[in-house]
Chains A and B, each alone.
Chain A
């Protein structure tokens, strides 16, 4: 079907903003600007003028150049071939861009999101004569070794299957035909700014296991939940996001590098194909979609990148998968909004951000959730957004508006980072509103006393914080013996439990069982310490008990349980005889 494109001409160019005249357009239509056909999106209509944000550098565009309207909103292609891909903010595969323009990104390159030549093995799961509707699964494609791609009927399409084929197909070959003549292919497109439909939202009652002790134990996030990681630069936002992308127990990970460093994306690109998924033993890349719009790539495409990522995440959710979406960083996205809003000469809200910042953020996070899909299965999208507050000041608009929406807050702390306590998540400031609901799951699946242990650890840390204030004034020697011992236990919790080495092969991932064992062991040591104190041992003697070093290093060992037991035995002998 050939669409006659509306054509107009450029009236004004100001950075990424192009104003066209004589063009018929609707909001969010995608346009092509100039001879090179730079891609842009309609963001405003004023009288006979059309405001277009262009996704590429506009140097050289001049008034009078032609502008074409495709009449379509910005959409992504959804089908086999998404996994293992790396895209820019508007779903152009970066390897294809590299082939087209070399090591530096050129302009006006058009590249479909899904490769048109790759053949996929399609196995139908429905038969001729069956009635299908939007969201139903009509067959499967083994996309990677660990992920089966379920081919969906596009939402809002329904009918009775009159033809369905089995075999090898490219994404744009017809695999089924409906009675109303609709041809179904392995892929369909979906506009990025519109959330994909589902049947109903379900309560978040299953935790996302991240393998990070402080997150899983103290501040857990639910599958389908939302979390924010704000922190000043250098406090470990990106490392934490990478850890989550690597070890979370989701079947699919969508990682959006939004306005961040090029070298960090390269790190992900080089590392993920080599890292093993702890659950399947296959490369992590096989379940990952990467979106990289680094800080020096065009700002309008950065604004679009989070929507591109979210739509891909929702698509996998609709197949019945648990999806983790990491966005690093949402502040850069907000800044892209601010930049474009400034060019549009809109009335600014707080700190120059547009007045609609809060509603855009809310809309985005609201697309997370655990849902019953149109086909009746259960899938989820968990959203974890990094926030980069200027000067590490959490009172700025992006952090504040994010905190009003998300349920989990992992506060990164520059002070902890400076003393190389990683992950530098402040245990006093952070919170999780899912903690209570998820307790049930942990009690059922890990250990019956999970909840008590967690509460105990939090209490010790709280107590330590208030004691620290006194220590700051008078020194620790002035404290009563029992309190000095408590400080020592708190230190164990901090150093043995909360600190976790992202780059240590064993410590980088800690399953819930090991988390429990470690914390349980610390509690045991705590009880032993206080028993020894009652029995008349001196605090200094207890603190310097042999076996403590081995105890602290147990987490680095594969056979941590034996090491822990041995260390506790040594301590017991020394303290209680």
Chain B
């Protein structure tokens, strides 16, 4: 393999190499520094005159005399069943002091797109044990459902709780967890690791860690590495894999950094115009494939800069993912955990995952009614702020109380409280029972008679 010492420019995370033999687009590159250390990179732009390389570990220490070698292959990850229980760096090397991973296969980390014709529509209900998710925004196997959070909110706790409790009803099989950390602090990482160890989840997990002080450009690899591992476990070993990606905001920042270094025309807020496509190549790797047992369910976590849901990162994410779980600073301030604001939250795939045979026959209409009632109660709070509660009609006061109870009893639960779906639905019925029965216009008579506490009492009496 030829070595070139023809770097003519270094700009941020990029190096420009001249006078090379033909180099393939996307090829892996190793750079040997004068001090003997090596760094890795990838070809971003190749031509007969100049090759542009993005360096994953950052360009610190690179000078024009550094030696550049083109490996002649694209970036791959060593995958094996024995990855379970291991902790790897953001670029896939073991960092837990354990032995090297003996690869069963070396896989390209740029996953090819799943043929839409080969997909199977996700419809298996996953019980997370969290009422605000199971009841209101149900998760199904093969879905990608991000948590839109803000700095300082307990999104990590929620992700952990889901990783701990997630199960498919009536089945003993567990999820394998692939956890990819991008630019999170050491402290946060410790928090995750400790919880994984304590609950024994680590044995069923593959962890990729790119911490805040690790090179930013490496973050462009981390989620792809994680998903490559997930695809291997899901499609070769029939596991149901839950992939947690945190924090996608840091990933997008890295993308912006590269784009700026290449002097590309920026889209909104300096993020590159291709960010939608780029994010899609990550998120769309969730799903189910016909004829294969394993599935990939994604839980990306992102912190919305300035709690702004219209910021390009949550915005583009929301257009790709199948819904979103939105956390609210206001609920958090009220001391409510998990502070899930159900109104802007959504699960696009729930309609197929709930109802008779999946959760319970009343779930669909129950959900509509709960949403409508809570929305009405929240609206009325605005009115109360102006005219005071006394000016409200009796009906309105009930809705107001409903909204409060909804937050305090239904949304609020313990970090280790694992609620059964029946419990969640019945709890909702208790709240609905505080409204006049005539208000329950979204629920058919037969379900009211079957599940409304008043009728149930009668039936048992």
Residues of A within 8 A of B (CB): 11-15, 19, 57-65, 86, 94-95, 97-98, 101-106, 232-234, 257, 259, 261-263, 265-267, 269-270, 292, 294-297, 299, 332, 335-336, 338-339, 342, 345, 348, 351-352, 388, 390-393, 414, 417-420, 471-478, 495, 503, 544, 548-549, 552-553
* Chain A proximity mask over B19-36: 1 for CB below 8 Å, otherwise 0: 000111111000000000
Contacts A13-B45, A476-B393 given; indicate if A342 touches B24 (C-beta within 8 A).
no
Considering the complex, give the chain A residue whose CB is closest to the CB of B380. Answer: A475
Chain B nearest Cβ from A408, distance in angstroms: 23
Question: How many residues belonging to B are interface residues under a CB distance threshold of 8 Å?
Answer: 81
State whether A299 and B343 are in contact (beta carbons under 8 Å apart), knowing that A262-B119, A474-B391 are contacts in the complex.
Answer: no
A455 to B383, CA, bound (A): 31
With contacts A263-B119, A332-B276, A477-B393 taken as known, whether A234 is within 8 angstroms of B318 at the C-beta atoms is yes
- Taking the complex as formed, is B284 at the interface, i.e. its CB lies under 8 A from any CB of chain A? yes
Contacts of B287 on A, CB cut-off 8 Å? 262-263
A103 to B344, CA, bound (A): 34
Contact B45–A420 (Cβ < 8 Å): no
Q: How far is the CB of B442 from chain A (nearest CB, A)?
A: 8
Please give 20 more A-B residue pairs, beta carbons under 8 A apart, in addition to A263-B349, A388-B319.
A12-B48, A13-B46, A15-B25, A59-B25, A60-B27, A61-B24, A62-B23, A98-B118, A103-B115, A103-B289, A104-B115, A263-B119, A295-B276, A295-B280, A338-B273, A391-B309, A392-B310, A417-B346, A419-B375, A475-B393
Q: How far is the CA of A267 from the CA of B48 in the complex (A)?
A: 46
Q: Which residues of B contact A59 (CB under 8 A)?
A: 24-26, 74, 110
Instruction: Kindly report which residue of chain A lies nearest to residue B379, judged by CB atoms.
Output: A419
A234, B324: Cβ atoms closer than 8 Å: yes
Question: B351 in the interface, Cβ–Cβ < 8 Å?
Answer: yes
Assess A269 versus B320: contact at CB under 8 Å? Given A103-B289, A294-B284. Answer: no
Give the residue of B142, B276, B351, B371 whose beta carbon is less than 8 angstroms from that of A503: B351
- Among B25, B289, B387, B438, the residue within 8 A (CB) of A549 is B438
Do residues B319 and A473 form an inter-chain contact, with CB atoms below 8 A?
no
A234 touches B276 (CB 8 A): no
Q: Is the CB of A339 within 8 A of B392?
A: no
A352 and B26 contact, Cβ closer than 8 Å, known pairs A296-B113, A296-B280, A418-B343:
no
Tell me if B113 and A104 are in contact (CB < 8 A). yes
Residue contact B315 to A19, C-beta cutoff 8 Å: no
- Which of A19, A60, A495 lies in contact with B441, CB distance below 8 A? A495
- Interface flags for B274-289 (1: CB within 8 Å of A; 0: not) read 1011001100110101
Stretch of B3-11, B261-269, B407-415 at the chain-chain interface: B261-269
B284 touches A262 (CB 8 A): yes
Q: Provide the bound-state CA to CA distance between A420 and B443, in Å.
A: 13
- The residue from B118, B274, B319 contacting A339, defined by CB atoms under 8 A apart: B274
Residues of B contacting A: mostly: mixed
Q: Which residues of B contact A57 (CB under 8 A)?
A: 110, 112
The interface residues of chain A lying within 8 Å CB-to-CB of B121 are 263, 266-267, 270
Contacts A261-B284, A292-B116: A62 and B274 contacting too (C-beta < 8 A)? Answer: no
Q: How many A-B residue pairs lie within 8 Å, measured between CB atoms?
A: 221
Q: Measured between alpha carbons, how far is A336 from B48 in the docked complex, in Å?
A: 27
With CB as the reference atom, state the residue of chain A lying closest to B310.
A391
Closest to B346 in A: A234
Residue of B48, B122, B312, B376 touching A390 (CB-CB under 8 A): B312
Can you list 23 A-B pairs with a CB-CB distance of less than 8 A? A14-B46, A58-B25, A62-B24, A86-B116, A98-B115, A104-B111, A234-B344, A234-B346, A263-B349, A265-B116, A269-B116, A295-B276, A332-B276, A335-B273, A390-B268, A417-B346, A418-B371, A419-B376, A473-B387, A475-B393, A477-B392, A503-B364, A553-B441
Residue numbers in B under 8 Å from A414 (CB-CB) = 344
Q: A59-B25, A63-B23, A103-B115 are in contact. Are A342 and B274 (CB under 8 A)?
A: yes
- The chain A residue sitting closest to B42, CB to CB, is A59
- A548 CA to B47 CA in the complex, in Å? 73
Whether B318 and A233, one on each chain, are in contact in the complex, defined by CB atoms closer than 8 angstroms, is yes
Contact present for B392 and A475 (CB under 8 Å): yes
B44 within 8 A of A: yes
Residue ID in chain B nearest A496 by CB atoms = B441
Determine the distance from Cα of A86 to Cα of B117 in the docked complex, in whole angstroms. Answer: 8
- Interchain CB contact (< 8 A) of A58 among B26, B117, B376: B26
CA distance A417 to B375 in the complex (A): 10
Report the bound CA distance from A15 to B262 in whole Å.
Answer: 13
Contact A296 B281, beta carbon cutoff 8 Å: yes
Flag if B273 contacts A61 (CB, 8 Å): no
Report if A263-B122 is in contact (Cβ < 8 Å); known contacts: A103-B292, A472-B383, A475-B392. Answer: yes
Q: Are A62 and B22 in contact (CB under 8 A)?
A: yes
Contacts of B129 in A (CB 8 A): none
Q: What chain A residues lie within 8 Å of B393 (beta carbons)? A: 475-477
User: B113, A105: Cβ atoms under 8 Å?
Assistant: yes
Tell me whether B45 and A294 are in contact (CB under 8 A): no
| Contact for A63 among B48, B74, B280, B281, CB less than 8 A | B48
Least distance between A48 CB and chain B CB atoms (Å): 13
Q: Could you say which residues of chain A place their CB within 8 Å of the CB of B117?
A: 86, 94-95, 97-98, 269, 292
- In the assembled complex, the CB of A348 is this many whole angstroms from the nearest CB of chain B, namely 5
Contact B319 A233 (CB under 8 A): yes
Chain B 376-396 residues near chain A, CB threshold 8 A: 376, 382-383, 386-387, 391-393, 396
Given the complex, which residues of A lie within 8 Å of B111, measured CB to CB? 104
A339 neighbours in B (Cβ, 8 Å): 273-274, 277
- Could you say which of A12, A106, A294 contacts B112, with CB atoms under 8 Å apart? A106
Nearest Cβ in chain A — how far from B238, in angstroms?
14
Does B375 lie within 8 Å of A418, measured CB to CB?
yes
**Residue from B285, B322, B368, B372 in contact with A263 in the complex, judged by beta carbons closer than 8 Å:** B322
The one of A292, A472, A476 in contact with B382, judged by C-beta atoms closer than 8 angstroms, is: A472
B25 touches A295 (CB 8 A): no
* Residues from chain B with Cβ under 8 Å of A544 in the complex: 438
Chain B residues 353 to 376 lying within 8 A of chain A, measured CB to CB, are 364, 367-368, 371-372, 375-376
Query: Are B441 and A549 neighbours in the complex by a CB distance under 8 Å?
Result: yes
Q: Which 8 A-B pairs have the closest CB atoms?
A: A391-B310, A12-B47, A295-B280, A59-B26, A419-B375, A296-B284, A94-B117, A104-B112
Alpha-carbon distance A332/B316, docked complex (angstroms): 11
Chain A residues with Cβ below 8 Å from B143 are 263
Given A390-B315, A391-B315, A64 and B22 touching (CB < 8 A)?
A: yes
B391 neighbours in A (Cβ, 8 Å) = 474-475, 477-478
Contact A419 B47, beta carbon cutoff 8 Å: no
* Residues of B close to A13: CB separation below 8 A: 24-25, 45-47
Cα separation A167 to B315 with both chains bound (whole Å):
55
Q: Complex: how many Å from CA A487 to CA B58?
A: 63
B323 within 8 A of A: yes
Query: Which residues in B have their C-beta under 8 angstroms from that of A98?
Result: 115, 117-118
Q: Given A60-B74, A63-B22, A418-B344, are A262 and B372 also a contact pair (CB < 8 Å)? A: no
* Interface flag for B95 (CB, 8 Å): no
Q: By the criterion CB–CB under 8 Å, are A342 and B264 in contact?
A: yes
Least CB separation from A329: chain B residue: B319
Q: Does B114 contact A (CB under 8 A)?
A: yes
Contact flag A352-B273 (CB < 8 Å), given A60-B27, A234-B346, A390-B315: yes
